[in-house]
């Protein structure tokens, strides 16, 4: 894959490889260590627009960026146009230049509330959300799926709507809602959408290796890619794609991640937050089953780091 700088509105990004918004994973500690590996842009976990308006510690935690603000976009979800605009304009988002609208989340509790991928059922409401958010003065981007069920292909229609509504970039997860995160991406749907608009199109879904990235770009003509679980399983995949030297070894990356989590969360929660990364980080290594069980039983990060040192 050939990487290149990318212009999004009036923001120039170093490259076109992005870190996806992933609920429960792309919190500040992970984004902070991941950005050092070469991403052009990282996204926060999805944040409720209404939650941002009414404030609260949980929302402050979700959007915290430290010194990484210039390489971080915030993703919000909701379906009420006015509330979405108010969220874009709220104090917690004042330092963000780019706000992404989630129109792809497949989770039932989000969908049933009319948010996330539910917006793919009502293009007029989706358009109103985009247009209202653009009025905030933020650079607005949109993330969609190719549809709701197998056989759907609404990516072109929604990409045109997003561009006409004032969005400066669209990301297409090449799967329908009912597929969640499995199955082959629909390259053709992304390809047709890319050909239909002049704003950048980022392709997402099923990218675990350099070959997957090449296949995605070659088959879709997309302007860039977005790594999700593949960027956790191989923290240095972005380095390989962007020809960026690895900033550290895998062991050092994991240890630094533990330290960032330890500083950010209360002790008990810190260990719990870290545990969900272990299966990704240690997959394929000898003795991984025993190491995982040992880590899951510990509530002390010093002991966790000892186990990581032993296996790596």
According to the model, what pLDDT value does residue 21 have? 98
pTM above 0.85, yes or no: yes
133 noted as active-site residue: no
Range 284-307 average pLDDT: 85
pLDDT > 90? residue 299: no
- Structural domains in the chain, sorted by start: 6-242 (3.20.20.70), 250-311 (1.10.1200)
- Whole-angstrom distance, CA of residue 200 vs CA of residue 195: 10
Which member of 88, 105, 133, 248 is catalytic? 105
According to the model, what pLDDT value does residue 292 have? 86
According to the model, what pLDDT value does residue 300 have? 84
pLDDT above 90: percentage of residues in the chain: 87
Range 23-35 average pLDDT: 97
pLDDT > 80? residue 286: no
* Confidence grade of residue 53 (pLDDT, cut at 50, 70, 90): very high
Whether residue 31 contacts residue 68, with contact meaning beta carbons closer than 8 Å, is answered with yes
Q: Largest Cα–Cα distance of the chain, in whole Å?
A: 56
* Confidence grade of residue 267 (pLDDT, cut at 50, 70, 90): confident
Range 100-119 average pLDDT: 97
Among 65, 68, 90, 64, smallest CA distance to 78 is for 90
Whether residue 185 contacts residue 175, with contact meaning beta carbons closer than 8 Å, is answered with yes
* Average pLDDT of the residues of the chain: 95
- Whole-angstrom distance, CA of residue 50 vs CA of residue 287: 45
Where do runs of H (alpha helix) occur along the chain?
28-35, 49-54, 57-63, 81-89, 108-111, 123-134, 155-165, 187-196, 210-220, 229-233, 237-242, 250-264, 267-282, 288-296, 301-311
Report the sign of the C-alpha dihedral through residues 191, 242, 29, 206, in that order: positive
pLDDT > 80? residue 7: yes
């Amino acid at each position: 894959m050939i990487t290149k700088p990318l212009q999004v509105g009036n923001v120039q990004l170093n490259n076109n490889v992005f870190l996806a918004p992933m609920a429960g994973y792309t919190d500040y500690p992970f984004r902070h260590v991941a950005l050092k590996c070469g991403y052009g842009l990282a996204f926060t976990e999805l944040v409720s627009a209404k939650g941002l308006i009414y404030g609260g510690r949980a929302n402050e935690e979700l959007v915290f960026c430290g010194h990484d603000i210039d390489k971080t976009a915030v993703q919000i979800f909701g379906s009420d146009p006015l509330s979405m605009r108010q969220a874009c304009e709220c104090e917690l988002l004042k330092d963000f230049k780019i706000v992404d609208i989630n129109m792809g989340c497949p989770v039932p509790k989000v969908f049933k509330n009319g948010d996330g991928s539910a917006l793919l059922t009502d293009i007029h409401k989706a358009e109103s959300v985009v247009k209202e958010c653009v009025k905030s003065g933020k650079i607005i981007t949109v993330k969609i799926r190719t549809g709701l069920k197998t056989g759907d292909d609404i990516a072109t229609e929604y990409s045109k709507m997003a561009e006409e509504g004032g969005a400066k970039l669209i990301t297409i997860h090449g799967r329908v809602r009912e597929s969640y995160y499995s199955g082959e991406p629909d390259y053709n749907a992304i390809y047709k959408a890319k050909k239909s608009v002049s704003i950048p199109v980022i392709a997402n879904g099923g990218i675990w290796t350099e070959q997957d990235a090449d296949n995605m770009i070659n088959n879709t003509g997309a302007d860039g890619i977005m790594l999700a679980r593949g960027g956790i399983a191989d923290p240095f995949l972005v380095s390989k794609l962007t020809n960026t030297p690895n900033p550290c070894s895998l062991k050092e990356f994991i240890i630094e991640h533990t330290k960032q989590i330890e500083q950010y969360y209360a002790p008990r929660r810190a260990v719990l937050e870290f545990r969900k990364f272990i299966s990704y980080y240690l997959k394929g290594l000898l003795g991984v089953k025993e190491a995982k069980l040992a880590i899951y039983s510990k509530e002390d990060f010093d002991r966790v780091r000892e186990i990581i040192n032993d296996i790596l």
